[in-house]
Amino acid sequence: MVSFVIDGKNVQAEGGAMLLNVARQNGIVIPTLCAHDTVARSGACRLCVVEVTKGKRTRIVTSCLYPVDEGIVVSTKTERVMNVRSLVMQLLMARCPESQLLKDMAKEMGIEPQPSFRVETDKGKCILCRLCVKTCEDVVGVSAIGLSRRGKDKIVGPPFMEDSVTCVGCGACAYVCPTDHIVMESTDGRRKIWGRAFRMKACDTCGRYFAPVDQLKWISKKTGTPLSELSVCLSCK
Ligand code: SF4
Ligand code: FES
């Protein structure tokens, strides 16, 4: 265990625990966009910055990636921290002017969108956090989507932005996306996502459509479970 100070409060935590988690456990709210419990942290959004003093050195760090250490002094709401968060937010809003989530978060943080931040490339609602990509890769194990193009033209989607052949239609990317950028529509036994339509399987017991057939085939192949044993939804199991 290590002892340190956060916003004037003495706290204890396991050495190496991530600062963001420890702050949350102690009721301290730090805004985040790209931290999700199911995938490894990437530090993509930079919204979770805080100020850390270690010895004689004070610096701004991303709290989701910073391991706590004995004797550090953490401040989560100094003027410097708020200025950096405000700048990050302005850049995100300029890049994703359609995102209501960003507008709401900015309002909560007391940040007004500044017209001086030019929109270079409208990304819709995508903040390029890669949560969807990592979920598809690490959790689902499919790797159907990724980042393509470079610099300001960077975009998330299937390779060459063509209809994905490997996607199984599970929708995990849409669930994890913090800004609702990924459009997934499920109607009449069909699910549409990433330019493809997937046939849904109806539960053998209750008749409710519960998963795309391709996803069930993928699970069957990956786990060795016969497809016939995957024909009932979780509620009816
Ligand atoms: S689509 Fe969503 S999850 Fe994927 S990179 Fe963009 S904002 Fe992040
Ligand atoms: S939550 Fe830490 S960088 Fe996004």
Which tokens belong to 173?
Answer: 């990317």
pLDDT number for residue 35: 93
End-to-end CA distance of the chain: 42
pLDDT number for residue 124: 79
The pLDDT tens digits of the residues spanning 39-61 come to: 999 999 999 999 999 999 999 99
> In terms of domains, do 23 and 101 share one?
yes
79 φ/ψ angles, rounded to the nearest 5 degrees:
-60, -40
> What CATH number is attached to the domain comprising 8?
3.10.20.740
75, 108, 141 - which closes a domain: 108
How many domains, in total, are found in the chain?
A: 2
Residue 126 lies in a domain: no
pLDDT number for residue 119: 63
pLDDT number for residue 118: 67
Ligand 1 centroid distance, CA of 131 (Å): 6
> In terms of domains, do 136 and 221 share one?
yes
Q: Please give the residue range of the domain that contains residue 169.
A: 131-236
pLDDT number for residue 216: 96
pLDDT number for residue 162: 79
**Which of ligand 1's atoms lies nearest the C-alpha of 96?**
7
In this predicted structure, the answer to whether residue 121 has a pLDDT above a threshold of 80 is no
Cβ-proximal residues to 130 (8 Å cutoff; 6+ apart), any chain: 34, 42, 44, 147, 156
> In terms of domains, do 181 and 222 share one?
yes
Ligand 1 centroid distance, CA of 87 (Å): 20
> In terms of domains, do 6 and 103 share one?
yes
* 177 in contact with ligand 1, CB cutoff 6 A: yes
Cβ-proximal residues to 109 (8 Å cutoff; 6+ apart), any chain: 31, 82, 85, 86, 89
* 129 in contact with ligand 1, CB cutoff 6 A: yes
pLDDT number for residue 138: 94
In this predicted structure, the answer to whether residue 19 has a pLDDT above a threshold of 90 is yes
* Reported confidence tier of residue 136, pLDDT bands at 50, 70, 90: very high
Residue 113 lies in a domain: no
Ligand 1, atom 4, residue with closest C-alpha: 132
* 179 in contact with ligand 1, CB cutoff 6 A: yes
pLDDT number for residue 39: 92
Residue 93 lies in a domain: yes
Residue 20 lies in a domain: yes
Ligand 1 centroid distance, CA of 231 (Å): 31
Q: How far apart are CA 75 and CA 28, in angstroms?
A: 10
Mean pLDDT of the chain: 92
Q: Provide the phi-psi class of 187: left if phi over 0, else alpha when psi is between -120 and 50, else beta.
A: beta
Ligand 1, atom 3, residue with closest C-alpha: 177
Residue 125 lies in a domain: no
Residue 115 lies in a domain: no
Name residue, tokens 């007391």: 110
> In terms of domains, do 136 and 220 share one?
yes
Residue 122 lies in a domain: no
> In terms of domains, do 167 and 206 share one?
yes
The pLDDT tens digits of the residues spanning 73-95 come to: 999 999 999 999 999 999 998 88
